[in-house]
Structure 1
Amino acid sequence: MLDPRKLHLLRELARRGTIAAVAEAVMFTPSAVSQQLSALEREAGVPLLERTGRTVALTPAGHLLVEHAQAVLEQLERASAALAAVRGGPSGPLRIGAFPTAARVLLPPALAALSSAHPALEPMVSEIDPADVSAALRAGELDVALVHEYDFVPPVTDLSMETEPLFSEPMYLTDRPSLAAARDDPWITNKPGTLCHTMAIRACQAAGFEPRVRHHVDDFDTVLAFAAAGQGVALVPRLAALSPPPGVTLTELPLSRRTLAAFRRGYGDHPAVRAAIAAFETALTR
């Protein structure tokens, strides 16, 4: 019988590439991960890993088992969700991840609605960049998360994660009537590696220029404060632009940011996840 916990480690190795990265993600030692994977090979009866010096790669049999592992782990998530539904109403810890603007604007009313409807639930919120959500969900660090997608940025594809759309919001440009008019301005963008930064760079490139980035700032309130101080122009979503500082004008662009609820594949019917998504939707209607 193949151990699902070892299958999880094999799937993480396929995604992360090194035993050290898997060990860091699951909070094991590299030696413990290696031992677990060696035990899985013995259970499978075929080589799953090719070891060359300090590098490890999956064999064809290893890749085949990863495909089946995803289906097995998904079915176990479904079983967990079904058992939770049988036990009754949502209760216990609920780990929620959210990007900063959603945490500031959407989560306070959502948490109030959640506490009112399900007082036995204990929501615990962590701010997280959407690019890091799938790994956190797979590792069991989060149960549900708010993520976003932008125009010009392909959505993150992860077979272990499902999403449900919640809402779409327009993007605004500070202090200029169009992207083309901001060609020669200094820019304020989020840090490289974030979806927000990629969106801004590609939007400018689509308008025919490479932006001259002066500041890298992740917090949109700070971005708007910098714009008010004449430090550059920026693209901000509607959630971040509800109360712009004096002196900042905003031009709506034909660009959008879409917010979704994300959870482990097969886990979407868990009562706590359904309760969280219902609370998000309640907050949006208010």
Structure 2
Amino acid sequence: MLDVRRLRLLCDLSRLGTIAAVAAAHTYTPSAVSQQLSALEREAGVPLLERTGRRVVLTAAGRLLVQHGETVLAALERTDAALAAARTGLSGELRIGAFPSAIRTLLAPALVTLGERHAALDLLLTELDPTDVPAALLDRRLDVGLVQDYDVVPTDTDPGLDSVPLLDEAVHLAVPLQATGLRNLRDLSEAGWILASPGTLCHTAAVRLCGSAGFTPRARHRVDDFGTVLALVAAGQGVALVPQLAADQLPAGVRLLPLPTRRRTRVAFRQGAAAHPAVAAFVAALPPA
């Protein structure tokens, strides 16, 4: 019989790529992870890993076991959801990950609704960039989280996650009110830009959009909070990419130009967890897509 905890480690190795990364995700030592994977190989009766230089890669049998392992882990999630549904009332913790503008506009009312409906459910909210949410879900640091993609930054769905749509919104170019004669991105190839931190989805979207217009944006400021971004635009400090969700409180001195791209937000959770009462309650409390 295969040990499901070791099977989870193998699936994490397939996702994360290195034993060191798996160890960090589980707060184990790399040696402990290696020992557990060796034990899984003995249970399976076939080699699951092979060394290529200093790296460890999955064999064909290892990749096959990962495919079946994802199915097993999803079944365990469904089992946990079924047991939770058999209990009376919702209690315990629901760990939520979301980006700041969604927390302010979408999640705050939903959290109030959940708190009123399920007083024994503890809601733990963590501010996270959408790029960090999938790993936090798969590492079991979150139960639900908001993920995103832009037309210019499509994202692959992780096989261990499911999701439901939440929001499909326009994306604008925020420019100072006094800036005239601007019609499209190409008119801003020499402008100073207010960009998000490198590695965030918003930063990648801005760079790719500008690249499609034939230039690389020159960063004058790097700011992740859209309220601050819009204040800097109003002060004439640069231009910025702003999704509709962040433009609900537009300061004086800023005007928006439409861009040919959209941003989509989805509620993600581990595969098999959709029927968990706490996850279902969270999704139900959000505004309809």
Q: Could you tell me the TM-score, scaled by structure 2's length?
A: 0.93
Matched, 1:272 2:284: no
Contact 1:89 1:271 in 2 (8 A): no
**In the TM superposition, what is the alpha-carbon distance from 1:60 to its structure 2 partner?**
1.4
* 4+ residue runs over 4 A deviation: none
After superposition, give the CA deviation of every residue in 1:111-157 in whole Å (9 maximum; x if it has no partner): 10111111121110001111111111111110011122112111232
Q: CA deviation at 1:52?
A: 5.3
Q: Is the 8 A contact 1:188 1:232 kept in 2?
A: yes
The 2-side partners of 1:102 and 1:156 are apart by 22
Return the alpha-carbon distance in structure 1 between the equivalents of residues 157 and 71 of structure 2: 16
Corresponding residue for 1:110? 110
* 1:202 to partner: Cα distance: 1.5
SS in 2 for 1:203: helix
2:76 match: 76
Distance in 2 (CA, whole Å) between partners of 1:11 and 1:229 is 49
Percentage identity across aligned positions?
59
- Conserved 8 A contact 1:48-1:62: yes
Q: How far did 1:216 drift?
A: 2.2
Structure-2 residue corresponding to 1:129: 129
Cα distance in 2 between the residues matched to 1:53 and 1:150 = 37
CA 1:185–1:82 in structure 2 vs 1: closer, same or farther (change >3 Å)? same
Three-state SS of the structure 2 residue aligned to 1:249 is strand
Distance (Å, rounded) in 1 between the aligned partners of 2:169 and 2:53: 50
Moved more, 45-54 or 103-112: 45-54
Distance in 1 (CA, whole Å) between partners of 2:59 and 2:156 is 26
Which stretch of the first structure deviates more once superposed, 17-26 or 203-212? 203-212
- RMSD value over aligned CA atoms? 1.6
For 2:189, the equivalent position in structure 1 comes to 183
Mean Cα deviation higher: 207-216 or 138-147: 207-216
How far did 1:32 drift?
A: 1.4
Q: Would you say how many aligned residue pairs link Structure 1 and Structure 2? A: 283
Q: Which structure 2 residue ranges, 5 or more long, are not aligned?
A: 176-181
**Alpha-carbon distance between aligned partners in 2 of 1:89 and 1:169, rounded to the nearest angstrom:** 35
Is 1:119 the counterpart of 2:119? The answer is: yes
Q: 1:62-211 residue pairs with structure 2 within 5 A?
A: 62-175=62-175, 176-211=182-217
